[in-house]
Amino acid sequence: MNEEQLAVLTEKELHDLRYGCEGTNHPLCELTEAHLTALADARLEMHEARSEIAQLKTDWASVCAIADERKTMCWEAIYKARALEAEVARLTKGAN
């Protein structure tokens, strides 16, 4: 096992890996080093997946913030255009 794999094992799992677990009824006592290696790899993959998900959530939050800002800018432009349109209509009505 490499250091990264060992880092994700619990103390009980590490103890069992190093010293065995004779005389205990703990379910992990049935696990071999190969099982614990696979368990550690699965935990590392889950950690990586959670990190990716967190990054995607952050990225989407940024995208949504930009979209909201642009949506606000669009509505402001629409309101300004309507105001200008009303002003033009008022001025042309007054000129007639």
Per-residue pLDDT tens over the stretch 32-46: 778 778 888 888 999
> Model-level pTM?
0.52
Q: Phi then psi for 91, rounded to 5 degrees?
A: -70, -40
Q: Among residues 34, 35, 39, which one has the least CA distance to residue 7?
A: 39
Q: What is the pLDDT of residues 40-94, one digit of tens each?
A: 888 899 999 999 999 999 999 999 999 999 999 999 999 999 999 999 999 988 7
How many Cβ atoms from other residues are within 10 Å of residue 90's Cβ? Answer: 10
- CA dihedral angle for residue 12, residue 15, residue 17, residue 21, rounded to 10 degrees: -90
